[in-house]
Amino acid sequence: MAPMDPHSYADGESPLTSRVALILYLDFATCSLHGSALLTLSAPHSGPLSLDTRSLTIHSAIDPTSLSPIPFSVSQPDPVLGSRLSLSLPAETPLSSILISFSTSSSSALHFLSSPFPYAYTQCHSIHARSLFPCHDTPAARLRFTALLNIPSSLSAVMAARHHARRHPIPSEGGLSCPDSLWCAPGRIVEHFIMDQPIPPYLFAFAVGHIVSRDIGPRTRVYAGPDVVDEAAREFAGTEEMIRAGEKLYGPYGWERFDLLVLPMSFPYAGMENPRMVFLTPTVIKGDPAGAHVVAHELAHSWTGNLITNKTNEDFWLNEGFTTYAERRIVEVVQGEERAALSMGRGWRELNRTVERFRDNMEFTKLKPCMQGIDPDDVYSQIPYEKGFQFLWRIERQVGRPVFDEFTKKYISTFKFQSIDTETFIDFLKANVPGIENQIDLRLWVEGIGIPPDAMEPVSAVYNKIKTLASEFKYGQMSGDDEVVQWNGQEWQLYLENLSSNIDPSQALALDARYRLSESRDWEVKVAFLELAISAGCKEYFAEAERLLKQVGRMRYLRLLYTALAKCSNEGKMLAHRIYAEARNCYHPIAQGVVESILSKHA
Ligand SMILES: [Zn+2]
């Protein structure tokens, strides 16, 4: 049986799941999930069928029509893939659906929080949907679904799907997963969701908690905790303008709603492009136009990533490179060229820094790396984003913007609701831009390591000015106040990133004494400064880093600060271990894995 995806047990020969009906019971007391999944295959099938699972206990598998049991076995867990669920479908009567009941109390996708309020949320990218329900957890599979979530009636549920009803539990609908004594217990409520459009499994998402909402546009509502919802509504007021800019560039917005959910501080990413409802960290709310970049990015995924999806994680740049490109085009329309150029400048710094990070393993500086046996969370980096962006920008420079825009529109309308690989993109590019392979070394871009010689550092007056000021500072010259008075977070971030880590501790202290960067309300600026100062050897900032690491679980910040602490000194290393031991439960399981791998690398 041929594997179709290095990160899935799906064998490529049996049909994939095209529909799933989920019944999920969330138990906050034990942080566990009991569920059943009625899977419908794209065609009737008999014989062996493999599904992906991780940390799931499988209780039963049956033919939902005859109720006959289906023999199954669960393999020993692979550290990257999880466990294979092998089913033997009857040879005599091919089945098109299977009902599986399961439970888990250690799902790598699901984070339960108990304080200050009970809250639970999922993050499935890239291969964690399998820890919520058994599935073909490959982006090559696209499925429609319905979901019944049984939750405490004091809470409400939201989902990246259409909300159908909130109602009382009905006896026996908990089915195999949940007896009526639990399903219909007092104080329980059922939230019913429907997703009519087929999505790859990594876009499956829900959240449960004290969640309220505000309408901010004709198709956008902000959902958040009562304490942040008004601030969030103000921050994201420009969303409809961005959707219109996206539609002008890439065609009609195809998901009906574009709602935004602001999660608790532990949410591990800046944002996650779950369709119909983007998930966001509260750290993007800062009363500053730079916060809109994250929304622009997740919005751009509505076309590139959610409509056209990478076939495997090896093709991840098709999602993120295109989205980073589209994000900057949207930002250019709504905020102007200088803002877009600053974002490109930051991307250029990140790209160079990431290539440096992988200098001992250059495979992961390729646009299309080999991911066999590799956990995508371990090698998550800015390469697919920024090298992907550079590749597309290179093509744009070659053919001119009008031609490239026409090409992109055609690309989206040709492949929407499909999962494609890099080779398909390259073939489509060659077919639609004849001769492009003679003008750009496409193989070097896709298969080569590092940064190709025809990549380009962006040019803009503001970006160049910031770089000059940063290099002057390194030689002892502090920027004049009039030069920085207009700066917001993005400028500061770029300035700090351009200082690099080899400044003196005294320089870091002087910078902070002048501009109070360690006290910035902008998380990006604060983290960039703390990383710089700790890397420079300033122990003065250990306490601030500890406070921050106990408050927020966004992985980018954890990566930067835990690495800086672990690398700076023995004292820093010990502190990193102690902070993690105390903060661990506040981090999403994916973030826990990332911090553990940083700490073991610098043991
Ligand atoms: Zn993205």
Q: Residue 571 pLDDT more than 80?
A: yes
pLDDT at residue 191 greater than cutoff 60:
yes
522/539 Cα distance (integer angstroms): 22
Quickly list DSSP for 451-502: --TT------HHHHHHHHHHHHHHTT-PPPHHHHTT--HHHHHHHHHHH-S-
- Which segments within 316-460 are labelled E, that is strand? 418-420
Q: Please name the amino acid found at residue 369.
A: P
User: 384 C-alpha vs ligand 1 centroid, how far in Å?
Assistant: 9
- Report residue 77 as tokens: 């867990």
Contact predicate 602/563, CB 8 Å: yes
Q: What are 205-247's pLDDT values in tens digits?
A: 999 999 999 999 999 999 999 999 999 999 999 999 999 999 9
Q: How confident is the model at residue 294 (pLDDT cuts 50, 70, 90)?
A: very high
pLDDT at 1 over 60: no
Per-residue pLDDT at 163 exceeds 60 = yes
pLDDT at 104: 98
Confidence of residue 480 (pLDDT cuts 50, 70, 90): confident
Residue 192 annotated as lining a ligand binding site = no
> Helix %, strand %, coil % for the chain, to 5?
45, 20, 35
Q: Which residue in the list 385, 411, 515, 580 is annotated as catalytic?
A: 385
Are the CB atoms for 125 and 7 separated by under 8 Å?
no
CA distance 12 to 6: 11
**∠425-430-435 over CA atoms, to 5°?**
155
Across residues 439-459, what is the average pLDDT?
97
- Distance in angstroms (rounded) separating the CA atoms of residues 590 and 106: 12
* Residue reference for tokens 């409509």: 307
Mean pLDDT of 61-68: 96
Whether residue 333 is predicted with pLDDT greater than 60 in this model: the reply is: yes
301 is in an annotated binding site: yes
239-277 residue pLDDT tens = 999 999 999 999 999 999 999 999 999 999 999 999 999
Comparing CA positions, the residue from 300, 343, 326 lying closest to residue 488 is 343
Q: Residue 52 to residues 74, 92, 370, 404: CA-CA distances in angstroms? A: 10, 25, 21, 39
CA of 315 to the centre of ligand 1 (A): 13
Beta carbons within 8 Å of 567's beta carbon, 6+ residues apart: 535, 602
Catalytic pick among 273, 298, 396, 491: 298
Tokens of 239: 């969303």
Q: What is the DSSP letter of 308?
A: E
- Active-site residue 121, yes or no? no
Q: How far apart are CA 541 and CA 256, in angstroms?
A: 46
- 472 CA distance to ligand 1 middle (Å): 34
The CA distance from 560 to 562, in Å, is 6
Please state, for a pLDDT cut of 90, what percent of the chain lies above it. Answer: 91
CA distance 24 to 188: 12
Consult the annotation and say whether 588 binds a ligand: no
pLDDT at 334: 94
Active site (annotated) includes residue 273: no
Residue 307 CA to ligand 1 center (angstroms) comes to: 13
Q: Do the strands 110-113 and 119-122 form a parallel or antiparallel pair, or are they unpaired?
A: antiparallel
Please give the distance, rounded to the nearest whole angstrom, from the Cα atom of residue 273 to the centre of ligand 1: 7
Q: Give the model's pLDDT for residue 485.
A: 82
pLDDT, tens only, 73-101: 999 999 999 999 999 999 999 999 999 99
Residue 2 in this model has a pLDDT that exceeds 90: no
Cα distances from 105 to residues 87, 109, 432, in angstroms, run 23, 11, 50
What are the pLDDT digits (tens) for 483-505?
888 888 889 999 998 887 678 99
What is the per-residue pLDDT across 501-554, written as a single tens digit (0 to 9) for each?
678 999 999 999 999 999 999 999 999 999 999 999 999 999 999 999 999 999
Are 147 and 161 contacting, i.e. CB atoms less than 8 angstroms apart? yes
d(CA 110, CA 132): 7
In contact, 197 and 190? CB cutoff 8 Å: no
Please tell me the predicted confidence (pLDDT) of residue 522. 93
Contact 291, 284 (CB under 8 A): yes
Of 288 and 120, the one with more pLDDT: 120
Confidence class for position 475, pLDDT limits 50, 70, 90? confident
What average pLDDT score do residues 122-150 get?
97
DSSP string, 121-183: EE--TTTTGGGTS-B--STT--EEEEEEEEEETTSEEEESSEEEEEE---TTTTGGG--HHHH
**411: its two tokens:** 């690309």
Strands, E assignment, 32-104: 32-45, 47-53, 57-62, 72-74, 83-89, 95-104
Cα 254 to ligand 1 centre (Å)? 18
pLDDT of residue 157: 98
Please give the distance of CA 167 from its chain centroid, rounded to a whole number. Answer: 31
- 29 SS3 class: coil
CA dist 177 and 16 (Å) reads 23
CA 128 to centroid of ligand 1, rounded, Å = 17
Residue 221 CA, ligand 1 centroid: distance in Å: 21
- Rounded mean pLDDT, 424-446: 98
> Which residues lie across from 278 on neighbouring strands?
260
